[in-house]
Amino acid sequence: MTEAKQTEQRPFTPIVQRLRAAGLRPTSQRLYLARLLFEQGDRHVTAEQLHSEAQSARIAVSLATVYNTLHQFTAAGLMRELVIESGRSYFDTNVTNHHHFFFEENGALVDIPGENLALASVPPPPDGTRISRVDVVVRVTRGK
């Protein structure tokens, strides 16, 4: 069994390190969720989506843990939370500078790389404050 465990665990190594660096214990739930999140390119998921994806993959993890984990990953800077529609939060695995297309008909999100959308001028933040982030959402609908 030791052998099987090792080959199974090898892909976790880099993730274990990311979690440790973020001050999070590498529990099995976090590791499995991290793999779902970070090993297939940039993703935009809701907690419910990720939970049912985990279920399908036979990963035993409760919905509460999915929420906790998404928030911890977000706090650690591994993800970013996006709120676009009332009633649900998306979590984005792409934490580089970028923006989004939002498809109003089906709620889908697609990245717009930072270099494809330029802000010519942003007004100075009010006194005593600083800009923590600028979010641009380009809403699109079906139509000519």
Partner DNA sequence: CGGCAAGTTTATAACTATTCTAGAGTTCTT
Partner DNA sequence: AAGAACTCTAGAATAGTTATAAACTTGCCG
Which residues, numbered 107-126, are part of the site for a copy of itself (CB under 8 A)? 110, 112, 116-123, 125-126
Q: How far is the CB of 79 from DNA (least distance, A)?
A: 13
How many Cβ atoms sit within 10 Å of the Cβ of residue 95?
Answer: 13
**The one among 9, 13, 17, 27 contacting DNA by CB under 7 A:** 27
- 1 vs 55: CA distance, rounded Å: 24
- 134 vs 95: CA distance, rounded Å: 13
Verify binding: residue 9, DNA, rule CB under 7 A. no
- 47 vs 134: CA distance, rounded Å: 23
Tell me whether residue 57 or residue 125 sits nearer to DNA (CB atom): 57
Q: How far is the CB of 39 from a copy of itself (least distance, A)?
A: 26
Q: For residue 21, with 0-12 CB atoms within 10 Å meaning exposed, 13-18 middle and 19 or more buried, which class applies?
A: exposed
Tell me whether residue 39 or residue 104 sits nearer to a copy of itself (CB atom): 104
> What is the C-alpha R_g of the chain?
18
Kindly list the residues in this chain that would bind a copy of itself in the complex (CB under 8 A). 81, 83-89, 101, 103-104, 110, 112, 116-123, 125-126, 128-144
